Structure 1
Amino acid sequence: MNLLLTGATGLIGSLLVQKLLERGERVTVLTRDASRAGATLPAKCRVMEWDPLAGPATLDLDEEYDAVVHLAGESVAGGRWSASFKNKIYQSRILSTRLLVEALKRAERKPSVFVCASAVGIYGNRGDETLAESSSLGSGFLAEVCREWEYEAAAVEALDIRRVSLRVGLVLDFEAPAFEKMSLPFKWALGGSIGGGQQWMSWINLQDVVKLILHSIDHTELQGAVNATSPNPVRNEEFSQMLGISCKRPVFLEIPGIALRVLMGQSADLVLTSQRASAEKALASGFEFDYPDIRSALKEVCSRRRHGFVREQRVNRPIEEVFDFFSRAENLERITPKELNFKILRTSTPGIEKGTILDYRLSLHGIPFHWSSHIDQFNPPSGFSDEQMRGPYAYWRHEHEFEVDGDSTIVRDKVQYEMPLGLLGETFGLYFVRKDLDRIFAYRRSQIEALLNAPS
C-alpha cells in the first residue's frame, strides 16, 4: 500500500510512520521542513516539502496513493490562545485540509480512504451527557474549529473517497504537549483535581490512537466521524487520583477553575470543559483497545520513563564498509561537533569488540566531563551498542544498527537516556538537553554524509 501522510514529525505521526513501515507499506510525507523531517524520520520515507501557510500552496500529487492520513495542525496546548495563536490553530487545520482535498480532486487516481484528525472538542462543554458521533455539535472556539475541519474533510466523499474523521481525546503520553503540561505538577506532588473535578475527561493512550488510525485505513465499513477515545472516560477527580498513583505522588490539592483561567486564559477550556465521549462506533467495527481503562493506560505510559529518539540516514556504501567505519573509535571524533572537545583517552582493547570499555572526555557548555562506555553488544556487520558507565546522564544507551537496503546501507541510531538530578533535571534541563542532542546528531548526520557519501 502506498500512503501519503501529513503531521509525520509529530508524536502520533512519527509512531504511525514506524508502524506503517513495519507493515511493509510505502510512505510519503508532506512536511513544512523537509530537511528537518529527513533528519528525524526513517530513511525509507519519501519526504516532500509543503507549507500550506507559506503560499503559494498549491499541491500537485506526483504519485498515486491508496490512502491519505492528514494529522497536521498547530498544537492547541502550545501556549495561551491569543488572537494570533488561535489563527494559527485554525489555519493550520482548515486551510491545509482544503488544499489537500483540492489536490485529491486533481489526482487522476483517487485514494480509497482519507483519514483526517479531529478532536472531541467538537462537542463543546456537555456536562454528563454521553456523546456519540451523532450527538449535536457544541459551541466555543475548539468546537467551531473542529466543525469546519470536518466540513473541509467531508468534501472527499463527493470524490467517492471514504472519509474517517477521528475525534481524538486527550492523548496519554509524557511527550504529548497537553498531557506533559498536565502531569508536571503531579511529579512535584502539587497535582490535584481541577475546577471541582466533576468534568468528564475523554482520553486515549498513544498506542491506541495509532492502532485506531491503522484500523481506520484497513476497515472499509468504518466511515464518517469516529470518537478516538477509550471506552471508559473518567471524571477529572478520578483521573487526578490515578495520575498521582502512577507518579507515586500524593494528591491532595484542589485547583479552582478561576485560578486556571487567570493562568491559561481561554486555553483552560482544554481541562475545564466536560466531554463524555462514547467509543461504541469504534468497538462495533471490531476495534480492540489495548488500554481500555485509565489504570492500564497510565501504567503503560509510566513504564516508558526514559526519553529516546531514533535517527536514520542512507549511506551509499556496502554494510561491511559502513560497520568498519563506525566500529573504529577514532572515527567518533570525526563525527562529533568540535565545540564538544571530544577526545578518546583510552580503549581497553586494541579494537572495539564486546566488552570494550572506552574512556573519553568532552565539554558541554564549557563544563568538562569524563565519560566511560561499555560495549555490551557487538554483532558485525549488523550493529553494536554502548552503555554509559560514568558520565553526565543518569542513564545512556546508544544502539548502532546497520541494514542493507538495495545497493545502500541504512545507518540507524537508537538512543535512550535519563536526565541527571531526577525531577530537577527533568523540569529545568530536559528542554536544553533535547536541543543539544538535536544539534549534535544533526552535525553527526552532516559529517557521515560528507565522509561516506562523498564521491570516491
Structure 2
Amino acid sequence: MSDSPLPPGSRIAIAGASGLIGSALARSLASDGHEVVRLVRRAPRAKDEVQWDPEAQRIDAAGLIGCAAVVNLAGAGVASRRWTEAYKRKIRDSRVLGTATLAEAVASLDEPPRVFVNGSAIGFYGDTGERAVDESAPPGDGFLPSLCVEWEEATGAAQEAGIRTAFARTGLVVARKGGAWGKLFPLFKAGVGGRMGDGRQYWSFVSLHDEVAAIRHIIDTETLSGPVNVTAPDPLTNREITEAMGRVLNRPTLFTTPAPLLRLALGDMAGDILGSQRVLPTRLVESGFTFAFPSIEGALRAALG
C-alpha cells in the first residue's frame, strides 16, 4: 500500500549492490523493469556501473543524474572478522564516509532523487533485554549504537537539500548464504548447532524476501522518512530460534556455546550475539507493509526454498 510507486523504467542507484541485500534488491528491481545503476570501486566495465571510492570520499556524481532513488547498503562486514581496533575503524569509515559521500553527491544534483534510503541497523538500540523497542527509542551504549548514530547523521547533506531520507534499521537477515544465517545453517545441518549463551536473548530477524520488499516499500511510500525498523513483527529468543532451526532442518540442537567461549573466540563482537534486541517494525506496519514471512519457520523455509 504505497503512495506512488516508481513507474517501470525508473533509474535507481545501489551502493553495495554485490552484497547479500543489495544483490537481491537489484534483481527484484530489474525484474520489474527498473534500470539499476551499481556503484563499484573499480573502473566501470558496463554502462550500468558508476565508480566511487567511499573511504576516499570520491564519486562520479554525473552517474547519478536521472536517478529517482539512491539506496546505500555499502559497508565492511560487521561479522566478517574479529573486531580489532583497526577493523572497527574500517567498519565505521566504510559506512560513515561512504554515506557522507553519497549524501553530498545527491545533494549536488540539479534534479536530485526523490528518495535516499540509507542502510542502518537495529544495533542502534544496543542491548534492550526483554524490553520491546520501536523507532521512538533512543540509541543504546557501545560500539554499534555509536556507529549507527554517526552512520545516520552522515546523511545530513541529503536531508538539508530536501531529499526524503530514510534509515532502514535492519535486523538479522535470514538467508541461505551470507549474513548470520549463512554461518548458522551449515552448523545446524551438520547437527552441531545449538543455543548461544543462556539462549534468553532476543533476536530480531527478517527474511531476505521481506527485507527487499521493505526497502522497496520505503522507496515508494512518501510518508516514510527517518528511522524505519526492518524486522519481522514477532522477535524470538535465541532458544526459540534454535528450536525452530531443529524442527525445520530435522536435526538435534543439543549443543550450546557458553558465553565465556564466545567472548574468547569473538572478542567485542560476542556482545552483539549475546545481547538482546527485541525490536518492533512499528512504522513499517503502520504504513501498510505486509510481511510475507512473519514467522521464523516461514523465514527459514523461504531461505532454504
Q: Fold conserved (TM > 0.5)? A: yes
Runs of 4+ in structure 1 displaced over 6 angstroms?
A: none
Q: Which one-letter code corresponds to 1:128 in the other structure?
A: E
Choose which of 172, 181, 184 in structure 2 pairs with 1:182.
184
Q: Which residue of 1 aligns with 2:5?
A: none
Superposed CA deviations along residues 19-54 of structure 1, whole A, max 9, x for unmatched, are: 11122112211111356xx5xxxx7x701121222x
Of the structure 1 ranges 152-161 and 249-258, higher mean CA displacement relative to structure 2 is found in: 152-161
Change (3 A) 1:56 1:205: closer
Within 5 A, what are the aligned runs for 1:22-37?
A: 22-34=31-43
Q: Which one-letter code corresponds to 1:33 in the other structure?
A: R
Q: CA deviation at 1:99?
A: 0.9
Q: Distance in 1 between matches of 2:272 and 2:141?
A: 14
Choose which of 167, 192, 195 in structure 2 pairs with 1:193.
195
Q: Which residue of 2 aligns with 1:81?
A: 83
Q: CA deviation at 1:265?
A: 0.9
Q: Distance in 2 between matches of 1:274 and 1:34?
A: 42
Q: Which residue of 1 aligns with 2:232?
A: 230
SS at match of 2:223: coil
Q: CA deviation at 1:68?
A: 0.7
SS at match of 1:76: coil
How many residue pairs end up in the alignment? 295
Choose which of 214, 221, 233 in structure 2 pairs with 1:219.
221
Superposed CA deviations along residues 193-247 of structure 1, whole A, max 9, x for unmatched, are: 1110000000000011001111111111111100000001000100111112222
Q: Distance in 1 between matches of 2:57 and 2:171?
A: 33
Q: Distance in 1 between matches of 2:210 and 2:172?
A: 12
Q: CA deviation at 1:61?
A: 2.6
TM normalised by structure 1 equals 0.63
Contact 1:226 / 1:282 at 8 angstroms: preserved in 2? yes
Q: Distance in 2 between matches of 1:185 and 1:136?
A: 35
Q: Which one-letter code corresponds to 1:65 in the other structure?
A: C
Contact 2:205 / 2:231 at 8 angstroms: preserved in 1? yes
Q: Distance in 2 between matches of 1:264 and 1:128?
A: 24
Contact 1:59 / 1:99 at 8 angstroms: preserved in 2? no
Q: CA deviation at 1:58?
A: 4.7
Q: Which has the higher contact order (CA 8 A, sep 6+)?
A: 2
Q: Distance in 1 between matches of 2:50 and 2:221?
A: 28
Q: Which residue of 1 aligns with 2:3?
A: none
Q: Which residue of 2 aligns with 1:129?
A: 131
Contact 2:76 / 2:91 at 8 angstroms: preserved in 1? yes
Q: Which one-letter code corresponds to 1:129 in the other structure?
A: R
Q: Distance in 2 between matches of 1:244 and 1:32?
A: 40
Q: Which one-letter code corresponds to 2:201 in the other structure?
A: Q
Change (3 A) 1:154 1:284: farther
Contact 1:59 / 1:100 at 8 angstroms: preserved in 2? no
Q: Which residue of 1 aligns with 2:4?
A: none
Superposed CA deviations along residues 293-320 of structure 1, whole A, max 9, x for unmatched, are: 11111111122xxxxxxxxxxxxxxxxx
Measured on the aligned residues, the alpha-carbon RMSD in Å equals 1.5
Q: Which residue of 2 aligns with 1:241?
A: 243
Q: Distance in 2 between matches of 1:268 and 1:56?
A: 31
| Larger Rg computed on CA atoms | 1
Indicate whether 1:101 and 2:110 are aligned.
Answer: no
Indicate whether 1:12 and 2:21 are aligned.
Answer: yes
Q: CA deviation at 1:254?
A: 2.3
Q: CA deviation at 1:154?
A: 4.3
SS at match of 2:82: coil
Q: CA deviation at 1:81?
A: 0.6
Contact 1:247 / 1:302 at 8 angstroms: preserved in 2? no
Q: Which residue of 1 aligns with 2:58?
A: 57
Contact 2:69 / 2:113 at 8 angstroms: preserved in 1? yes
Q: Which one-letter code corresponds to 1:28 in the other structure?
A: V
Q: Distance in 1 between matches of 2:246 and 2:217?
A: 32
Q: Distance in 2 between matches of 1:250 and 1:59?
A: 52
Q: Unpaired segments of 5 or more residues in structure 2?
A: 1-9
Q: Distance in 2 between matches of 1:237 and 1:165?
A: 29
Q: Distance in 2 between matches of 1:184 and 1:33?
A: 32
Instruction: Determine which structure has the larger strand proportion and give its number.
Output: 1
Q: CA deviation at 1:59?
A: 4.0
Q: Unpaired segments of 5 or more residues in structure 1?
A: 304-456
Q: Distance in 2 between matches of 1:28 and 1:235?
A: 38
